[in-house]
């Protein structure tokens, strides 16, 4: 009898802390926006204590109003397979789970597998409706990042952080060397920016069988503060391909001597890295021995190597489809380098004016 009791307790503990990617929908108590489904999609969600409903699901339909997605109809995977209509707001977070970067919600297609953190407060309609806090896309390889609101944050004398979530389910261990990245902002973030009430996404492949569960973080994304979720500052550039000039944060910039912009054989727009990066306030260092470039702006860094499709961003590697190359003794990079490595909002203007 004691043996059966021990086995039952062990299985219960394992199920309680298993990854939500495989466990189906789960509930987590946490302080997050909105407690009741809303019919308004143009305003921020209000802040209240609520239960989080998280689920891995297939996108069945995407409802778009103008340029904005206003709802996602999904079918849950796993044990439930029910349909839910999740309402999307301006402050809903969209993240590419594989790359750990902001995702474009307009790129979600019917049939895509996504992971949603939403409110457990649902309507009694068919299908039930709920509000969406975070949507993770590109779930092919990694387990979904955990959506955490920090209740208690402590930092030890080695600079490592320990974060207890609002529900007391997780103890997140963030080492000083763990990559900490922002969401859609040009501000560099550090482990010390994670404080009580911070909202973070945590990537981890290991979780200890304990309560609270010990979770060593592989990577962390610091999300906008709840009260200022709409105030996102982003570097921006308008590339006028016909005129051959850039507008960087509203200021017109001309390429340096020898720099140009062109499309390679694959149709990828290549742009000069030095004049653009320096205009954004980066120091640019060329290293002849390794044919590489290092960029520094405060604590924000980026690196690239000629003919390599792997780029450095803080303490991470970012893989792009196109490698940098040298033209007229100047280094040129694919325009995606600006988006994915330097976190720049890019607009391309192909008109004559």
CB-CB contact of 233 with 186 (8 Å): yes
Burial group, residue 86, by CB count within 10 angstroms (0-12, 13-18, 19+): buried
Whole-angstrom Cα distance, residue 167 to residue 95?
Answer: 23
Angstrom distance (rounded) from CA 237 to CA 251? 9
Q: Which CATH code of 3.30.300.10, 3.40.190.10, 3.30.457.10, 2.102.10.10 fits the domain covering 235-349?
A: 3.30.457.10
Position 341 pLDDT exceeds 50: yes
Look at residue 191 and tell me whether its pLDDT is greater than 70: yes
Residue 313 confidence (pLDDT)? 87
Where are the domains positioned within the chain? 2-137, 146-228, 235-349
CA distances from residue 117 to 50, 57, 192, 296, 353 in whole angstroms, order as listed? 12, 11, 26, 35, 44
Confidence (pTM) = 0.58
Q: What is the CATH number of domain 146-228?
A: 2.40.50
Q: What is the CATH number of domain 2-137?
A: 2.40.50
Q: Which helix (H) or strand (E) holds 4?
A: helix 2-16
Q: Do domains 146-228 and 235-349 have the same CATH topology?
A: no
Give the three-class secondary structure for 61.
Answer: strand
Residue-wise pLDDT tens digits, 21-56 = 333 455 544 333 333 444 444 444 443 334 788 999
SS3 per residue for 5-20: HHHHHHHHHHHHCCCH
Report CA 45 to chain centroid distance, whole Å: 19
Interacting residues of 196 by C-beta distance below 8 A, sequence separation 6+: 150, 151, 152, 153
pLDDT confidence band for 186 (50 / 70 / 90) = low
């Amino acid at each position: 009898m004691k043996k059966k009791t021990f086995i039952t307790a062990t299985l219960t503990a394992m199920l309680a802390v298993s990854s939500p990617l495989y466990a189906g929908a789960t509930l987590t108590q946490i302080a997050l926006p909105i407690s009741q489904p809303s019919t308004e999609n143009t305003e921020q969600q209000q802040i209240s204590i609520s239960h989080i409903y998280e689920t891995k699901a297939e996108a069945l339909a995407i409802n778009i109003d103008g340029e904005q997605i206003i709802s996602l109809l999904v079918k849950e995977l796993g044990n439930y397979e029910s349909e839910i209509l999740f309402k999307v707001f301006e402050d809903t977070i969209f993240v590419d789970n594989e790359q750990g970067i902001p995702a474009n919600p307009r790129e979600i297609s019917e049939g895509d597998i996504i992971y949603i953190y939403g409110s457990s407060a649902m309507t009694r309609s068919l299908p039930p409706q709920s509000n969406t806090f975070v949507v993770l896309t590109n779930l092919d390889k990694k387990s979904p990042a955990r959506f955490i609101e920090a209740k208690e944050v402590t930092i030890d004398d080695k600079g490592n952080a320990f974060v207890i979530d609002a529900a007391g389910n997780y103890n997140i261990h963030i080492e000083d060397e763990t990559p900490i990245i922002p969401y859609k902002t040009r501000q560099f973030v550090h482990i010390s920016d994670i404080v009580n009430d911070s909202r973070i996404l945590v990537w981890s492949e290991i979780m200890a069988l304990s309560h609270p569960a010990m979770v060593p973080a592989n990577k962390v994304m610091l999300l906008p503060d709840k009260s200022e979720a709409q105030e996102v500052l982003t570097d921006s550039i308008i590339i006028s391909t016909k005129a051959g000039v850039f507008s960087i944060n509203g200021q017109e910039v001309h390429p340096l001597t020898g720099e140009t912009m062109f499309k390679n054989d694959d149709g990828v727009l290549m742009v000069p890295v030095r004049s653009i990066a320096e205009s954004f306030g980066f120091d640019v260092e060329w290293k002849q021995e390794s044919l590489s470039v290092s960029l520094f702006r405060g604590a924000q860094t980026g690196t690239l190597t000629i003919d390599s499709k792997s780029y450095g961003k803080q303490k991470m590697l970012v893989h792009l489809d196109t490698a940098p190359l040298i033209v007229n003794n100047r280094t040129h990079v694919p325009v995606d380098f600006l988006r994915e490595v330097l976190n720049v909002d890019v607009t391309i203007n192909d008109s004559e004016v």
